[in-house]
Structure formats: C-alpha cells, structure tokens
Chain A
C-alpha cells in the first residue's frame, strides 16, 4: 500500500472518470426509455454489446471505429423502433402489460446474448486501432488515446440527448410524454410516434455506448448482464429524469471503482457496486438525487 503516491492516485481518478463515461453512455439510453415509457429494457446492454460487435466487425473489415457509428447508430435506432412498435405497443391494453413487456424484453435479451455467442463466439474481444494504444500526455498524466476517445464519444452522446430534450420542440414533446402521457395526448402530441422515436433514440445511444465500451474494456456476450446492472445502479443513483445527474453519478461511480481497485483487491470493486445497488434500492428506490414520492 506504500506505493500509493499522489501521481498514481491522480491517474486512477482521471482514468476512472474516463471509464465512467461508458457507464453514462449505457445508462443514458436505459434511463431515456425508462423515463419516457416506464419500461426497464433489461436487454439494453445486450444491444450495446451488439453495437460493439458490429463495430468490431466493421473495424476488422478496415473501417475506422468512428465511421462504423454511421452504420451501427441507424441499425440500433431501427431495433428500438421495432421493439416499441411490435413489443410494447402490442402489450397495451393487457392487464399485466408491464410484467409481460418486461418478460418479453428479458427473452429478447437471452436470445440476443446467445446469438452473439453463436456468431462471434464467447471469446474476449477488444476493438483496437493503430492509434488507440498510443498515449497522450495531459498535464503530466499519461492517458491512453483510446480511453480519451471513448470518453469524448460518451460525453458527446450525453450532450446530444440533453440538447435534444431541452432545446428542440420534439425533445420537449418527449419530456411532456414522460411527465404525463394523457395530458401530452390532449396537447396534440402524437404520443405513439414520439414513443417510437424515444425508444429508437434510447437504443441508438447503445451503439455509441458499445463502441465506447469496446475501445476500452474487453467484452464478450455474457458480460452484458454486468453492464446492465451497473447502468441500473447509475440510474438509481442519478435519477431517471435528470440526465446531468445521471452523467455525474456515472463519473463518480467510475472514479470510485477505479480508486477502490487501486487500494483494494479487485473483487472488492464488484462487491461495493452490488452492495451499493441493493442497498440504494432498498433504502431509497426513488433514487438518491430525487425527492421522495412516486
């Protein structure tokens, strides 16, 4: 423990914050869908990993990772629209709609995960390019370029969604749906169309999250369940209807995990995360940054 010098700690903090960007990117889409539709898309991280695999395949075919987003973002947008159109909408009117939607999304998650095993095998992968392993010197801290790119992408996704929701007319309509569906309908908002857009946007961010994950952290199909529970933790900590709070919570979680990982054995990190999740859910299910109430 005597090796814990200041530069080491500073490095752990900075690279933890950069890693937290991935949490933010995954939690972003999960939170958007949860906030607007009141649906927990448990397969969200499986879609992010799908995005990572698609990017990986395109990169192996000689494409730059950033360009691969031009393919993966529209692809996952369509997946989201399809989920809303064919799953969520067809459950409307059922007595136990919420339960059934959740079960279907769970089944889809299982199918997607194992389809990935079938197509890409269960081997551990990483998206690597010529420049991602180079280092960047930032105020005396040596940072890998891949991590910085990953963080910038995640932050850009968060900023885009934030600006969409707060600065555009459509985004405002989506927020209106989130706060009151019926009132939104009465105001002349096409709830059905915008719900599809919101679900599509939510899964489209999974494409960015997947690439941002794949550049930094090794992945395989089964890891998705870990990412989705971490993303859920971020939402619980940051609050669903508060994107900036969510971003902050993600960065704090990334930083805390990384710092704990430096001073304690690796398993303590996972332990802390799950205990935190279970504990928060039990004590404050409405989230730490939200007022009490429904």
Chain B
C-alpha cells in the first residue's frame, strides 16, 4: 500500500507548494489555506482524541484563546501575530495542563462534558471581558500587502502549520509515548498495571493537542481580521475537528488529512447547493453513518481492504 501512497503524497506536497505561483484565482488560494487550517486542527484533536479515546468536545477553547491572544497583542502592543501565535499556543497549552490534570481522571462522557463546559465558560468570559472587546469583538488591521500576496502568506503559514502538526503526530505515533497512548486507548487499567505512566502520557498528549490549535487560532485571527466570542469559540468548529478526524481515521496520522480534505471540500461544495443548516444536518448524519459502517475511518477501511486483497493475492499465487 505504501508503495502507492508515499510517492502520491510527495507529489501532492510538491504540487501544493508551487500551487500559488501558478496564478490561480485568489478564491482557490483561500480555499486551500482553509483546508490546511482544518488539517492542522483535526490533527491536533487527533493527538488526544484519536490516540487515547478521550473525546474532547471543547477543543475550540484553545483555538479561541490563540485568536484572542494574537488580537490583543497586535492591537495593544503592535506585535505581529506571526510572532505571538506561539504565545497563544503556550497559553492554550498551559490551560490544558491546569485543566487536564484533574479532568483526565474522568473517563468517557464525563471528560467530554467537562471540555464542552470549558468552551462555554471561555465564551461567556470573552463576552464579558472589556479588554477583549466583549460582544463587539476585536477588529484587527490586515497585512499591509495586496490581497493576492496576503492570501499567499496565510496559505504558506497554514501549510507550514499543517505539515508540522502532521509530522508531530506521525513521530509520536511511532514513538514510545505513542505506544503508551495506544495502550491507554485499549485498556487504561491494564496499561497502568503494566507500568505505563498514564497520567503523564495523557497530559502530554492533551498539552500538545491544545498547543497547536492555539497557534492556528492566532494566525486565523489575523487572516480574517475580525474576531468575536461567537466566531472564536464556535462549538461548530469543535464538531468539525472531531468529525474530520473520525471520518478519516482517528488514531492514525494520515486520518485527519484525508478526513479534513473530504469533509472540508464536501462542505464547501454543499454550501453552494443547500442551505447551511441542512449542511450541518448532513454532517450529523455522516458522523452517525461513519461510526456505524467504518468506525476506523477511511484509512482504517482502506487498510482492511488492502489486507484482504493481499491475503487474496497470496492465496491465488499459491
């Protein structure tokens, strides 16, 4: 399987790097930048939710924190979001550390509801905080460049982020800590008995899984030039992260890439055809069907297919 996938992936990456210089319409640059952002976000969610099975429904909290950090830093101190985005990630990671220590002891739905409430709490806080603009939100100056260059800058920023997060996930998957997470997902009690430091492993995954959305949020705020509590802490984004990772294949580094590509491009196309609320209905139904039919996502489905095919080839040649 990898004999086909690896050159295809290299080719795709090469195409993507040169794409903005081929003179496409600005819309397509913007579209792909959005896709890279989604890949980075879905992969970040995957770092915790996919590998450990701790489903966070409030990951948008970390995204929003990053967005507000860079907005405040740019407007009040005049520092470019490209410099302060890691700071937003750091604050998000710190919050994850504080929240994670007690809440990762909670299993199953308890953890999910805690993270969901955290997102509401952050939204309520943003609505009522004067330095953060309250319900009016914050208007940011845009990059002092022509629109095509601006879009290209964000295109590469999100591309770089996506590559870094994917690389991180892939590296982690093949490391000792990745094995620890896998053990936790299979049976946490057994993993603990076998000597896996479960608290440490989960915390590490949660912190990294919160850091990246913080960075992404910081760049996103600069890109759209206006944030308010609704857009920065949009529960729909939490849903999308989960959906994309699950759809592609949670717990596999390639899953969120495939999932984000399919779901994002599908939703962009659907939004031309049907009203946006029906769009969401379709995604709810897709999530249900995915869990029913391919609980390991497209990648898991493909792997199973490939294994069967290989077995069939062996049998035929014998």
Residues of A participating in the B interface, judged by any CB pair closer than 8 Å = 40, 42, 90, 94, 96, 98-100, 102-104, 106-115, 117-118, 122, 225-226, 229, 232, 265, 267, 270-271, 274-275, 277-278, 281-283, 285
Contacts and interface: CB of A to CB of B under 8 A. Distances in A.
Nearest to B99: A278
Given A110-B283, A117-B277, A104 B292 contact: yes
Contact of B103 (A102, A117, A118, A282): A282
Given A102-B55, A267-B128, A278-B103, 13 more contacts: A40-B108, A99-B108, A100-B291, A102-B109, A104-B291, A110-B281, A114-B277, A118-B275, A229-B120, A267-B127, A271-B125, A278-B99, A278-B121
A229 B116 contact: yes
Contacts of A283: 102
A271 B121 contact: yes
B108 A102 contact: yes
A271 B128 CA distance: 10
B288 A107 contact: yes
Given A90-B292, A103-B287, A108-B288, A118 B278 contact: yes
Given A225-B235, A278-B117, A42 B109 contact: yes
B294 to A, nearest CB: 11
Contact of A114 (B53, B99, B125, B284): B284
B308 interface: no
A134 B213 CA distance: 51
A277 to B, nearest CB: 5
Interface residues of B, number: 42
B241 interface: no
B86 to A, nearest CB: 27
Interface in B262-294: 275, 277-281, 283-288, 291-292
Contacts of B288: 104, 107-108, 111
Interface string B231-250: 00001000100100010000
A114 B277 CA distance: 5
A42 B112 CA distance: 10
A113 B278 CA distance: 10
B114 A281 contact: yes
A108 B239 CA distance: 12
A107 B277 contact: no
B157 interface: no
A283 B275 CA distance: 43
B108 A98 contact: yes
Interface string B245-258: 01000000000000
A278 B124 CA distance: 14
Given A108-B288, A111-B281, A232 B113 contact: yes
A270 B105 contact: no
A99 B53 contact: yes
A74 B285 CA distance: 24
A111 B295 contact: no
B75 to A, nearest CB: 23
Contacts of B128: 265, 267
B110 interface: yes
Contact of B284 (A98, A109, A271): A109
Nearest to B109: A40
A114 B280 contact: yes
20 contacts: A40-B109, A42-B109, A99-B53, A103-B242, A103-B287, A106-B57, A107-B287, A107-B291, A111-B281, A112-B284, A114-B277, A115-B281, A118-B277, A118-B278, A118-B281, A270-B120, A274-B120, A274-B121, A281-B113, A283-B102
Contacts of A267: 124, 127-128
Contacts of A229: 113, 116-117, 120
Contacts of B285: 107, 111
Given A102-B108, A110-B287, A114-B277, A282 B235 contact: no
Contacts of A111: 280-281, 284-285, 288
Contacts of B120: 225-226, 229, 270, 274
Nearest to B129: A267
Given A99-B55, A270-B124, A110 B106 contact: no
